[in-house]
Amino acid sequence: YRDVYKQRLQEGKDDSLEGQILSVADKIDLLYETFGEIQKRNPEELFFEIYEMSLETIIQFDHLASVHDFINNIIPEMLTENFIPRTELRETTMNILNKRKEENE
């Protein structure tokens, strides 16, 4: 399954608005899949890596209103759910979001 996730992470779309939306949608789907595995306490470190890479890719599209909505509303809601590695995942998420914010300042 490692190869499947890595392949999905690297799939690209064109630069049209539709291509950008499809690319973000793919990464959000992948982020949710890895989030689910993390919630299930899957010990494979790969899921944290893919979660991080997916979120970093999603943030690259922060010029899209839907990405702003996802970052500002959906992610905080996701992180309030009860699951074991929540602290580590929250820390990873906030580091990625803060890094992007600093780059844009």
pTM: predicted TM-score of the whole model, two decimal places: 0.71
Q: What's residue 19's pLDDT?
A: 84
**Residue-wise over 39-69: b if at least 16 C-beta within 10 A, else e?**
beeeeeeebbebbbbbbebbbebbeeeebee
CA distance 62 to 44: 29
pLDDT tens for 33-59 read 999 898 888 878 899 899 999 999 999
For the chain, list residues with pLDDT below 70.
1, 5-13, 83-86
Domains and CATH numbers, the chain: 2-104 (1.10.3210.10)
Residue type, 96: I
Q: What's residue 5's pLDDT?
A: 66
Q: What's residue 60's pLDDT?
A: 93
Cα atoms in the 13 Å half-sphere on the side-chain side of 86: 10
